[in-house]
């Protein structure tokens, strides 16, 4: 137990997580932020941050370790929070080095490495698409002979759909591996399974899910990420159909992966060929693309804020209690826009509860008691977004904008 106001260090190379920072500060913590120099001019609220520090490059782990241990000499850091996928491993290294609580590097690995998470889930009896790590060519040839194409070649540690290639035959696989060279062992090959993609966003305490929200994407994130268009996600019927099944599988997956305290964003695909749910991936973070705001509008639970409240309660050895829940339905639409400041005034239904305020982006959240009404509005507004706003960018450009779950 910390017998003073805790000091919490947030690390991130992107501008995100401000509700969590705000919540931790409001609970009386001393807040430090370490970010990359390129984020210097982002709209950080300095009322919520006691000290901000800049570093050139988070990929230079030793430099970051030196920086954080230097900061700790006069500040006594109690907890380290990574706000984005790419700092998860770094946070684990820092925790181990400073002997702080939270996920260690080995505990983070199943949430960062797509090969590790598939192997772990498969051993636990959870359905996963047939896969193989790129380690041995004889084993790879046998896999391609046994598992029908198409396949997807996936980076093991990128976030979401970054770097994924769909390949239709062995020749394409070998060509792709030739291009990867010494990097090919950092990839896996997996059978492409057509289907509908869902995500379950969950808060965990002492290894048990205390809050879960089940959503379905409007289109697979990979297709939006690589081909452009409108990102859409919506909460599905809670008490029947797919949601109860997904909550059960989600709990089994993240128990197998080792989640104890924190938040997860976990994706599944419901295959067209057999209607079974296959595990795709799980991340120990809040989902992107304004998923947290969409869930909050329907449930009164903001995953960023509650994650912050859970951490402070843990540091103070105090009980954590969820806020009072509500059960509305909600959905989010987001797209890159052709216009610098898209005009969203025509999207004015009573159920519209949020509009994006970011250059070259168009986005809305709708929420209400009727699932049918929410789905109807999303369908109508999605068609309008395609006509009025939608633009596309190279995949890395999409990733930088945050249009990834």
Residue-by-residue DSSP string for 257-279? HT--SEEEEEEEEEETTT--EEE
pLDDT band at residue 391 under the 50/70/90 scheme: confident
Region of 160 (left: φ > 0; alpha: ψ -120 to 50; beta: rest) is left
Q: What are phi and psi of 169, to 5 degrees?
A: -160, 170
Looking at domain 195-401, which CATH architecture does it have? 2-Layer Sandwich (3.30)
Instruction: Evaluate the CA torsion angle 322, 324, 325, 328 in order and state its sign.
Output: negative
* Fold of the domain spanning 130-191: Dna Ligase; domain 1 (3.30.1490)
**Which pLDDT does position 176 carry in this prediction?**
97
pLDDT band at residue 404 under the 50/70/90 scheme: low
Q: pLDDT tens, 131-159?
A: 999 999 999 999 999 999 999 999 999 86
**Which pLDDT does position 193 carry in this prediction?**
97
* Fold of the domain spanning 7-102: Rossmann fold (3.40.50)
Query: How many angstroms separate the CA atoms of 160 and 252, rounded?
Result: 21
How many Cβ atoms sit within 10 Å of the Cβ of residue 73? 7
pLDDT band at residue 163 under the 50/70/90 scheme: confident
pTM of the model: 0.93
Percent of the chain with pLDDT over 90: 90
Residues 6+ apart with CB under 8 A from 168: 149, 150
How many Cβ atoms sit within 10 Å of the Cβ of residue 299? 22
- In this chain, the answer to whether the domains covering 7-102 and 195-401 adopt an identical fold is no
**What angle is formed at CA 112 by the lines to CA 135 and CA 118, rounded to 5 degrees?**
55
pLDDT at residue 332 tops 70: yes
Mean pLDDT is lowest, of 95-99, 219-223, 227-231, 385-389, for 219-223
**Which pLDDT does position 400 carry in this prediction?**
43
Q: pLDDT tens, 20-65?
A: 999 999 999 999 999 999 999 999 999 999 999 999 999 999 999 9
Q: pLDDT tens, 169-199?
A: 999 999 999 999 999 999 999 999 999 999 9
* All structural domains of the chain with their residue ranges: 7-102, 130-191, 195-401
């Amino acid at each position: 137990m910390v017998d003073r106001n805790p000091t919490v260090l947030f690390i991130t190379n992107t501008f995100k997580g401000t509700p969590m920072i705000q919540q931790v500060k409001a609970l009386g913590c001393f807040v430090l932020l370490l970010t990359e120099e390129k984020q210097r001019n982002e709209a950080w609220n300095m009322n919520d941050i006691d000290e901000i520090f800049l570093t050139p490059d988070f990929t230079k782990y030793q430099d970051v370790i030196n920086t954080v241990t230097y900061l700790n000499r006069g500040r006594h850091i109690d907890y380290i929070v990574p706000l984005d996928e790419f700092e998860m491993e770094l946070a684990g290294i820092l925790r181990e080095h400073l002997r702080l609580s939270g996920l260690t590097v080995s505990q983070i690995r199943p949430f960062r490495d797509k090969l590790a998470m598939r192997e772990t889930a498969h051993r636990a009896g959870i359905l996963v698409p047939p896969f193989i790590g790129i380690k041995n060519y004889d084993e790879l040839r046998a896999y391609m002979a046994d598992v029908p194409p198409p396949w997807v070649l996936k980076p093991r540690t990128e976030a979401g759909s970054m770097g994924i290639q769909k390949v239709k035959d062995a020749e394409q696989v070998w060509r792709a591996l030739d291009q990867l060279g010494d990097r090919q062992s950092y990839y896996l090959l997996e059978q492409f399974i057509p289907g509908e993609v869902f995500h379950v966003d969950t808060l965990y305490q002492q290894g048990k899910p205390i809050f879960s929200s089940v959503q379905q994407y409007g289109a697979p994130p990979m297709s939006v990420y690589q081909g452009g268009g409108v990102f859409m996600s919506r909460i599905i019927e809670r008490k029947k159909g797919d949601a109860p099944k997904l909550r059960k599988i989600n709990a089994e997956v993240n128990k197998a992966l080792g989640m104890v305290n924190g938040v997860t964003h976990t994706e599944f695909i419901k295959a067209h060929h057999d209607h079974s749910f296959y595990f795709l991936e799980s991340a120990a973070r809040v989902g992107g693309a304004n998923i947290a705001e969409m869930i909050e509008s329907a449930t009164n639970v903001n995953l960023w804020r509650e994650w912050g409240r859970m951490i402070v309660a843990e540091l103070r050895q105090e009980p954590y209690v969820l806020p009072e829940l509500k059960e509305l339905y909600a959905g989010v639409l987001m797209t890159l826009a052709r216009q610098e400041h898209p005009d969203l005034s025509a999207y004015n239904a009573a159920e519209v509860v949020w509009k994006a305020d970011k250059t070259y982006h168009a986005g809305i959240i709708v929420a209400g008691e009727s699932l049918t009404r929410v789905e109807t509005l999303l369908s109508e507004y999605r068609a309008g977004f395609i006509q009025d706003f939608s633009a596309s960018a190279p995949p890395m450009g999409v990733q930088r904008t945050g249009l990834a779950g």
